[in-house]
Each structure stands twice: as C-alpha cells, then as structure tokens.
Amino acid sequence: MFKKLLNQAIVNFELVTQSPLYIKQNTSLLDPTAFDGTYISCYLDDQRIPIIPGTSMKGVFRSFFEKMLGEEACDILDTRQDSNKCLKTIKEYEEKLKSSNKKDKTNNFDEELEKLKDFSRGKLNYYLSCPACKVFGSQRLKSRMLFDDAKAKEGFKISSRSSTPIDRISGAAKEKGLNTFEYVDWGVFEAKVTLVNFFNWQLKLLLEIFERIDEGILTFGGYSSKGFGRMKVENVTIKVRYYGEMKGKAKDGYSQNALFAERVFNNKEVKEKLQSIDFLDKNQWAKVELKDEQIL
Ligand SMILES: [Zn+2]
C-alpha cells in the first residue's frame, strides 16, 4: 500500500439492470482475448450467482477515461519502456536525475528537475504519469481506485437464448454450432469502489462515470450494439475518511476517532462539494501534495 494513508472514499452503490446483461461463463475468463478491458463480463460463481468482476469494471472505467483524454493517455496495453508514454517519461527523468546528481555543473539549471529531486520515488512516478495511470495505476504506479467484485442480490433472474450462426454466403443457418447463451434478465449488483489517497478530481471522475452509466453511454457486458448491458446506478453512499495531518482539518459533520475523521455523504452532497472541480483540468492533474487538498 501507500507509505502513508491520508484519505479514503469508500463508495458503495447498486447497479440495476435496465436491459439484459450478457453472461460470460467463468471459464472464458481464462481466454486472454476475452479480457481486452473494453467490456465487462458477467459470470456465475459456483452457486450460480451472477458477478461483475472488479477487474473488468476497472477496465471499462479506465477505457472510458482514456477516450476522454485522447492523446493525454498512454497505451496501457503497451508495456514496453521505450514506447509506452508513461514508462518512457519516467525512465527519461530517472536518467536526467542521475546525471544531475553527479554535481556536474555543465548541466543547465532545470527548475522542474530541481523540484523533482525532493520527490519520493512514488511521488515522482505519480507526477510523471498520465491522468489515467494516476487514477488506475500502471507497472510503476499503484492504483488509487480499487474495485470489488459486484455480486447480484437475491431475486435476480437468469434466462437463456439460442443464437443460430448464419452462413454468411448461403444465408442458411448452419446445422452445427447452434449455441445458447445466458443472460441476466433482471438483477441488482452490489458494487464497491474504494479510493485511496485520492485527489478530489478523481472522485469527481467517478461520479461522472456514474452519470454516463445512467445515460446508457457506458454499458456492461457484450452485445451492447443489440441493446444489452444498460444499467442504472442507485443508492450511492460515499464514506469519506481523513487520516494523519488531514484528520484535524475535517471538522464540519465529521465524527472523530483515534485513527480517522469520518463522514458519510450521498451522491448529491459530494457533487455539490465538487462542483467547481474539473477532472480534465491540467492544474488538477499536476497536484502532488495530498495534504493541501480541500476537505470534503
Ligand atoms: Zn499512463
């Protein structure tokens, strides 16, 4: 984990199906092509309860943010140090810092470099990473947004449908290869996302993603072009905790204990508090001092 815990936002919510949700069977999670991070697969565990894996949810949320960022985001699937934007930048600065540490006065004075010299390794990697890596992590950076598996509550309904592959040339249905697939007809999934050592813009991003889900822009599971996978976010509670030097600053409405100050908000309350924050603002991304962040 992080060296020092300063804050946490524990976000509990429900995902309620608005259209059928495609079920990918457990075994297909072993298929590497199925895990391209662009959609959520829903699978059944041993007791046949539909589950949206946390890793898949994270993949969908991240790819949505990457689309908004465009060129600002690195290609997380590219893990080579010389071509992935973030890994490359970190490597370049490490080399620059190394050579400037040799007290070689021939180096031009670099203001930014001077500032970075005082950064810890973790802070340096965070500062140099793209906004998507800042939130969701990378090879060199811990994720600040952690996802639990979302399990369907009792009362869900599973149905199945057969899909007949059509021969593209003759148009005739192939006799072999008739397959059935299952889907969640109706279900409420209990989901949890935890932000650790978060900046306020990162919580704002999460609330924005919730809105896009409600609008049907972000869908879950396969066959979204056929109308599958639309969901609604309901019953959001946001438990915010401040530790260490942030703890004393959390006063209004917060309850204090020996470890932390805590307050529970609903979606609307946090949205109002974060109204002036733009998660696509470069000045927000450049922040590295968590203790200076405004208390919610
Ligand atoms: Zn990156």
* Digit-coded pLDDT (tens) for 32-75: 444 444 456 777 788 889 999 898 899 889 989 999 999 999 98
Number of structural domains, the chain?
2
Inside any domain, residue 170: no
pLDDT per position as a tens digit, 162-196: 765 555 555 555 555 556 788 999 999 999 999 99
CA of 77 to the centre of ligand 1 (A): 10
CA of 283 to the centre of ligand 1 (A): 17
CA separation for the pair 124, 111 (Å, rounded)? 15
Domain identity same for 117 and 208:
no
CA of 138 to the centre of ligand 1 (A): 7
Inside any domain, residue 188: no
CA of 73 to the centre of ligand 1 (A): 6
Inside any domain, residue 241: yes
Domain identity same for 212 and 269:
yes
Inside any domain, residue 176: no
Dihedral over alpha carbons 232, 239, 143, 60 (to 10 degrees): 0
Inside any domain, residue 154: no
Inside any domain, residue 87: yes
pLDDT at 32: 46
CA of 234 to the centre of ligand 1 (A): 31
CA of 260 to the centre of ligand 1 (A): 31
CA of 74 to the centre of ligand 1 (A): 4
Domain extent, residue 225, equals 4-26+194-296
CA of 35 to the centre of ligand 1 (A): 19
Determine contact, residues 113/96, Cβ cutoff 8 Å. Answer: yes
Domain identity same for 137 and 217:
no
Taking the CA of residue 176 as centre, how many other CA atoms within 13 Å lie in the half-sphere pointing to its CB?
Answer: 0
Inside any domain, residue 283: yes
CA of 146 to the centre of ligand 1 (A): 17
Inside any domain, residue 272: yes
CA of 278 to the centre of ligand 1 (A): 19
